[in-house]
Chains A and B, each alone.
Chain A
């Protein structure tokens, strides 16, 4: 499965558009991470727990999106976008969406 956030893919042409596919998830970190983040706010630096939270959420949302694309019989998802929102303190929503298409390598003339 080819996934890009561009509308076209270099070296390929879109032969069929299957439609929009999407996946979302709301995930939270355990309280220990929140406490650690609070302490980190004294000295600065990366909040690895929250970075992880975003990465896990993004992977899960993308997985769901790709599963949908597979079901539609697509071999690629183009123009993928990710958006986030904080649902409540400690939980973040990640939403991934894109357009499922069928790609074919362009024949070089």
Chain B
């Protein structure tokens, strides 16, 4: 009984905390990513090794890299621990990993854009290992490192 009461007093506020703030943080981030996608529609992103429709005699291609680490919130962590019992897709973590990847690509695009390029090829997105408290798996986080080659493409 005391254990249940203890859980209610300790875990419940944290879950509510995650529910209220975590949800808002995630929704805001997703909106920013959508806005970015919308405003960079003209930007050509491929993951092939060749340079599709590259323009001759333009500035030389260059490497762009971006890293992102996104933390889980308490609600997500809590829900994931329940999912661990029944199995199946851990949706709460699918969203943070995809947010990390989208954000990393968005940052590369912004950097390339600022340097005067309009295309990225050979985009690679890899999970990164940050160490941190990650090894204890107490504080789940999604870390990724993305790289690509920026170049100038002829756009119609």
Asked whether A and B interact, the reply is: yes
A residues neighboring B (CB under 8 Å): 2-12, 28-29, 34, 37-38, 40-47, 50-51, 53-55, 58, 62, 80-92, 108
Query: In the complex, are the beta carbons of B139 and A41 less than 8 A apart?
Result: yes
Q: What 1/0 mask marks residues of chain B from 28 to 62 whose CB sits below 8 Å from any chain A CB?
A: 01000000000000000000011100101110111
Which parts of B14-30 form the interface with A (CB within 8 Å)? Answer: 14, 17-18, 21-22, 25-26, 29
What are 22 A-B contacts defined by CB distance under 8 Å?
A5-B148, A6-B51, A9-B61, A29-B132, A37-B71, A37-B133, A41-B140, A42-B74, A43-B21, A44-B22, A44-B71, A45-B73, A46-B29, A46-B71, A50-B141, A50-B143, A58-B65, A81-B124, A82-B147, A84-B128, A92-B128, A92-B129
CB of B68 within 8 A of chain A?
A: yes
Q: Total contacts A to B, CB within 8 angstroms?
A: 164
Choose one: A5, A88, A89; the contact of B124 (CB below 8 Å).
Answer: A5
Residues of B within 8 A of A7 (CB): 49
State which size class the interface on B falls in: 35 or more
Query: In the complex, are the beta carbons of B65 and A38 less than 8 A apart?
Result: no
Residues of B within 8 A of A43 (CB): 17-18, 21-22, 25, 73-74
Query: In the complex, are the beta carbons of A11 and B25 less than 8 A apart?
Result: no
CB closest residue in chain B, given A90: B131
B residues neighboring A (CB under 8 Å): 14, 17-18, 21-22, 25-26, 29, 49-51, 54, 56-58, 60-63, 65, 67-74, 76-77, 96, 103, 121-122, 124, 126, 128-136, 138-141, 143, 145, 147-149, 151
A109, B71: Cα distance in complex, Å: 53
